[in-house]
Amino acid sequence: MNIREEARKMKLDAPVLAASSNEARNAALSAIADALISKKDEIFAANAEDCRAAEENGIAPAVMKRLLFNEAKLSDVCKGIHQLMSLPDPIGRRLLRRELDSDLVLERVSVPIGVIGVIFEARPDAMVQISTLCLKSGNCAILKGGKETARTNRVLFSIIHDAAVSAGLPATCLLQAELHNEIDELLQCEKDVDLLIPRGSNQFVQYIMNNTKIPVMGHADGICHIYVDKDVDESMAIDVIIDAKTQYTAACNAVETILVHRDIAPVFLPKLAKALNRAGVKLRGTQEAEDLIARNSDTAALASIVEIMGEDDFRTEYLDLIISLKVVGDIEEAIEHINRFGSHHTDSILTRDDAAADRFLQMVDSAGVYRNCSTRFADGFRYGFGAEVGISTSKLHARGPVGLEGLVTYKYLLRGNGQIVGDYASGRSSFHFKDLD
Amino acid sequence: MNIREEARKMKLDAPVLAASSNEARNAALSAIADALISKKDEIFAANAEDCRAAEENGIAPAVMKRLLFNEAKLSDVCKGIHQLMSLPDPIGRRLLRRELDSDLVLERVSVPIGVIGVIFEARPDAMVQISTLCLKSGNCAILKGGKETARTNRVLFSIIHDAAVSAGLPATCLLQAELHNEIDELLQCEKDVDLLIPRGSNQFVQYIMNNTKIPVMGHADGICHIYVDKDVDESMAIDVIIDAKTQYTAACNAVETILVHRDIAPVFLPKLAKALNRAGVKLRGTQEAEDLIARNSDTAALASIVEIMGEDDFRTEYLDLIISLKVVGDIEEAIEHINRFGSHHTDSILTRDDAAADRFLQMVDSAGVYRNCSTRFADGFRYGFGAEVGISTSKLHARGPVGLEGLVTYKYLLRGNGQIVGDYASGRSSFHFKDLD
């Protein structure tokens, strides 16, 4: 398959999908859910082969759980599709309606972005979620899933594509890329692909960002912080930190660094170290953090538990049961540390002090800034978006979890009766700017 | 000056400017307008030197008009600053407020983008407009103007910067780059500069886009079309086309290609050719357009006026008194031509037929799609935005003329009382998603 040629066709057909009604797109989603259920045996058979092959290759049990596509996951993705159908149409919304002059009316309306390339990890449910999010938002999509679920993806894609086309959407609405070298071809399609969404390791996302002129949405790093202020409910703080580190360690919104106010560090840090240690988390920290824990711990086992780290280690995303500890003099030092070493993803302050919380929420330059809760809440489902195509740490277009709204842009429509700019430049006519509706 | 170091400082100080009140930013704008007036002699003297040097270098009179900064231009920029002051604060707007669960409230608020680099043509008024737009939207800016107005820019920048700082804004809010090699340094600052806005020639904008990892907003090409449908007021059509081509030929929103429906081409094209010829516009066109004009013109002079062009020439932005003519079979062919050869900037249909207009406005994939008016309306002032930093043909973030709204992004704030994700994952807690306000 020639990805460039296919992307070209998609681009020219994209306005057809963009012009489809919400009813037509919902009918396609409904047909997809029905087809997935009626053809589930075919999907499960392909998935069993993928899982068998993965097992033979000695894949880790945690990864195996992601590869699996069973009745429970089928039920989840179908629930997701029906939830998506119930959401209002993200396209065709009138965002502005302004009379510039008599009979000269400007509108801004939401429209799909166009052609989106999504490269995602080996997770069959991701194939269903991403393709249906793109269709609901009127976008054509080129989908490349992880190779470990190639057989499952092929069956899923064919079911999804057939159902969408039989429901009346254009055949060019979705395309599957299967070969790894097709990713490099896709990266060259800057004339026809409007947006790339890579999901995966830091290294992989960096590779995509460095090798394409297509705008990229997503995140490479997820270096999230929790700052424990001096006036804090210590037991709540420990619960939140344990959740943020251990509830799903491999997630980008898991916490990597804990900053503790110096006033409470001698008492709080040893308690925290004990709790983290019990939860199986390895500790790294500055010399000061190590000293405080060693000096103030009630058990000998904790006396030498902290590995000393350098400043630059604060830029490391562990994605593992490892955490960094640092003592800070005040909230300003915490804010500066986060803005300097963080990845502008999600950071949380734990405090009873309203003024400190307000300062932190204002000054921390991240997509999500939280007070008194776990960084793990950074997620499209938990924000009530229904689903997400990813989380963006970019500041342009969409920031944080990206759902339907992040998959649309707008266009300006101007309707006149022969107006020319010369008349306004010469003063014969003048604008009166009146917002309508 | 080391641009990288300065950009780093700016990035870390950016949250301070972002946290400033609308009153503080307006006070700075007011101080800037006052200082420009009280120091106008200094500005005019520097500008006289720039203009003298430009004259000696034999610069074209059209360009000379742009270099000039006189009482009239001073009055215009000060009017612009006061208009900007009267606009509502673009930052701190609450875009969403949703209760995810009891005592767990998500907000989305508008915030500045952060640090913006703007590289612009030799136009002293641009220095004032861009710096004040950035300050009003709470963004730090690195400004590099065209070298032909280097002396004027230096004086203007120093006045603007001093006034902003004396009004209480941080000294890092604005930085001037003066040397051409500083542009290349700026392009390397992807860690600290959030957005680049290059203005200038296609070649220059392409160079920027190809040599930086920083997101770029703007446009390289402005290949705008007017499609003349079969049911059209011919006299209106000719007026609109003449305006769109000649009112300001060097503008990106000037029209480059006219598409004419085959049913009216034998009558309309010769009339159009005559009017364009009278306005000093050179004609290029397909063989069919040439034949129709040659065969049906009432004056011999028009018989051989059209230079034959190839398909690929339709990708040329003339920025000159030259226009391309093509005959199309129907509106679908017009739409396909525009989506294939255009630059997704601004395109207009001239028609009395509502259904044809609706189809065109829906299917043309451009930032601005117009009916019965000149493409020259694509402009921040004419859209009622007060001013613009440029026009974007990108589909992400901001599209079309970019004013204050395109210079902000948002962040998510989440306030809880110790909520952890584990409780929601295990089913002990559940989200109830209730939009507030």
For residue range A341-360, list pLDDT tens digits in order.
999 999 999 999 999 999 99
Q: Which B residues in the span 372-411 are in contact with A, Cβ-Cβ below 8 Å?
A: 372-374, 376-378, 382-384, 394-397, 399-400, 409-411
CB A140 within 8 A of CB A116: yes
* Chain B residues inside the 8 Å CB shell of A372: 415-419
- Distances from the Cα of A179 to the Cα of A3, A185, B129, B213, angstroms: 11, 10, 49, 27
Return the closest-CA partner of residue B394 out of A172, A396, A19.
Answer: A396
Q: Residue A276: what pLDDT?
A: 96
Q: Which residue has the higher pLDDT, B315 or A301?
A: B315
How high does pLDDT run on average in chain A? 93
> Which segment of A71-80, A138-147, A242-251, B401-410 scores lowest on mean pLDDT?
B401-410
Q: Which of B116, B420, B428, B431 to mutate to test the interface with A (most CBs of A within 10 A)?
A: B420
Q: Which residue has the higher pLDDT, A70 or A403?
A: A70
Q: Which residue has the higher pLDDT, A391 or B302?
A: A391
Express as a percent the part of chain A with pLDDT over 90. Answer: 73
Return the closest-CA partner of residue B384 out of A410, A105, A92, A415.
Answer: A105
Return the closest-CA partner of residue A271 out of A233, A297, A241.
Answer: A297
**Per-residue pLDDT averaged across B217-223, rounded?**
85
Cross-chain Cβ contact A195/B376 below 8 Å: no
- pLDDT at residue B125 tops 80: yes
- Long-range CB pairs of B183-189, under 8 A, 24+ apart, other chains included: B183/B119, B183/B144, B184/B211, B185/B2, B185/B3, B185/B4, B186/B3, B186/B7, B186/B117, B186/B119, B186/B142, B186/B144, B187/B211, B187/B212, B187/B214, B188/B4, B188/B212, B189/B3, B189/B4, B189/B7, B189/B117, B189/B214
Residue of chain B whose Cα is closest to the Cα of A211: B213
Residue of chain B whose Cα is closest to the Cα of A419: B373
- pLDDT at residue A24 tops 80: yes
Express as a percent the part of chain B with pLDDT over 70. Answer: 100
Return the closest-CA partner of residue A32 out of A139, A158, A122, A121.
Answer: A158
Q: Report yes or no: A70 at the B interface, CB cutoff 8 Å.
A: no
Q: Residue A281: what pLDDT?
A: 95
CB B308 within 8 A of CB B286: yes
**Per-residue pLDDT averaged across A85-107, rounded?**
93
What does the pLDDT look like over A210-251, one tens digit per residue? 899 899 988 878 899 999 999 999 999 999 999 999 998 888
Q: Residue B92: what pLDDT?
A: 94
Q: Residue B202: what pLDDT?
A: 83
Cross-chain Cβ contact A421/B14 below 8 Å: no
Burial B219-234 (b: 16+ CB within 10 A, else e): bbbbbbbbbbbbebee
> Which segment of A236-250, A371-385, B342-356, B380-394 scores lowest on mean pLDDT?
B380-394
Q: Residue A243: what pLDDT?
A: 97
Q: Which residue has the higher pLDDT, A319 or A186?
A: A186
DSSP letter, residue A216: B
Q: Residue B63: what pLDDT?
A: 78
Cross-chain Cβ contact B194/A104 below 8 Å: no
Cross-chain Cβ contact B363/A421 below 8 Å: no
Cβ-in-10-Å burial (0-12, 13-18, 19+) of B283 comes to buried
User: What is the rounded CA–CA span in Å between residue A398 and residue A216?
Assistant: 11
Token readout for A149 is: 């679920």
User: What is the rounded CA–CA span in Å between residue A244 and residue A240?
Assistant: 6
Nearest CA distance, A371 vs chain B (angstrom): 5
Q: Report yes or no: B210 at the A interface, CB cutoff 8 Å.
A: yes
CB B13 within 8 A of CB B138: no
Residue B414: beta bridge partners?
A370, B106
Q: What fold is seen in the domain A3-91+110-218+394-412?
A: Aldehyde Dehydrogenase; Chain A, domain 1 (3.40.605)
Q: What does the domain layout of chain B look like in residue ranges?
A: 3-218+394-412, 224-377
- Position of tokens 């405080």? A292
**Per-residue pLDDT averaged across A111-118, rounded?**
95
What does the pLDDT look like over B130-188, one tens digit per residue? 999 999 999 999 999 999 999 999 999 999 999 999 999 999 999 999 988 899 999 99
Q: Which residue has the higher pLDDT, A199 or B41?
A: B41
- pLDDT at residue A302 tops 80: no
- pLDDT at residue B350 tops 90: yes
What does the pLDDT look like over B181-207, one tens digit per residue? 899 999 999 999 999 999 888 888 889
How high does pLDDT run on average in chain B? 93
What is the band of A433 on the pLDDT scale with cuts at 50, 70, 90?
confident
Residue of chain A whose Cα is closest to the Cα of B344: A411
**Cα dihedral sign for B182, B185, B186, B187?**
positive
* Chain B residues inside the 8 Å CB shell of A396: 113, 194-195, 215, 217, 396-397, 409
User: What is the rounded CA–CA span in Å between residue A276 and residue A259?
Assistant: 14
- pLDDT at residue A308 tops 80: yes
Q: Residue A46: what pLDDT?
A: 97
What is the band of A337 on the pLDDT scale with cuts at 50, 70, 90?
very high
Token readout for A339 is: 């803005």
Q: What 3-state DSSP class applies to B431?
A: coil
Q: Residue B20: what pLDDT?
A: 96
Q: Which of B207, B333, B373 to mutate to test the interface with A (most CBs of A within 10 A)?
A: B373
Cross-chain Cβ contact A14/B421 below 8 Å: no
CB atoms within 10 A of CB A332: 12
What does the pLDDT look like over B376-419, one tens digit per residue? 999 988 998 877 888 898 888 888 888 888 888 889 899 999 99
Q: Which B residues in the span 316-335 are in contact with A, Cβ-Cβ below 8 Å?
A: 335
Cross-chain Cβ contact A240/B418 below 8 Å: yes
Cross-chain Cβ contact B414/A15 below 8 Å: no
The interaxial angle of helices B71-86 and B124-136, nearest 10 deg, is 10
Q: Which B residues in the span 257-296 are in contact with A, Cβ-Cβ below 8 Å?
A: none
- pLDDT at residue A75 tops 90: yes
Give me the residue from A368, A395, A420 closest to B414, CB to CB.
A368
The interaxial angle of helices A124-136 and A150-166, nearest 10 deg, is 30
Superfamily per CATH, domain B224-377: Aldehyde Dehydrogenase; Chain A, domain 2 (3.40.309.10)
What is the band of A203 on the pLDDT scale with cuts at 50, 70, 90?
confident
Q: Which residue has the higher pLDDT, B221 or B96?
A: B96
Cross-chain Cβ contact A365/B395 below 8 Å: no
Q: Residue B377: what pLDDT?
A: 95
pTM for the model stands at 0.90
Q: Residue A306: what pLDDT?
A: 87
Return the closest-CA partner of residue A239 out of B291, B70, B418.
Answer: B418
**Per-residue pLDDT averaged across A424-428, rounded?**
90
* Chain B residues inside the 8 Å CB shell of A340: 12
Q: Residue B361: what pLDDT?
A: 96
CB atoms within 10 A of CB B313: 16
DSSP letter, residue A296: H
* Chain B residues inside the 8 Å CB shell of A384: 98, 100, 106, 431, 433
- Per-residue DSSP letters for B55-106? HHTT--HHHHHHH---HHHHHHHHHHHHHHHHSPPSSS-EEEEEEEETTEEE
Q: Report yes or no: B421 at the A interface, CB cutoff 8 Å.
A: yes
Q: Report yes or no: B362 at the A interface, CB cutoff 8 Å.
A: yes
- Long-range CB pairs of A68-76, under 8 A, 24+ apart, other chains included: A69/A43, A69/A44, A69/A124, A69/A125, A69/A149, A69/A152, A69/A156, A70/A44, A71/A40, A73/A124, A73/A125, A74/A36, A74/A37, A74/A40, A74/A43, A76/A125
Give me the residue from B217, B233, B414 closest to A418, CB to CB.
B233
* H-assigned helices in A39-70: 40-56, 61-67
CB atoms within 10 A of CB A422: 18
What is the DSSP pairing of strand B346-350 with strand B224-228?
parallel
**Per-residue pLDDT averaged across A373-384, rounded?**
92
What is the DSSP pairing of strand A322-328 with strand A255-261?
parallel
What does the pLDDT look like over B98-115, one tens digit per residue? 999 999 999 999 999 999
CB A253 within 8 A of CB A345: yes
On whether the B3-218+394-412 domain is CATH 3.40.630.10, my answer is: no
What is the band of A387 on the pLDDT scale with cuts at 50, 70, 90?
confident
Token readout for A101 is: 């002059």
Q: What 3-state DSSP class applies to B238?
A: helix
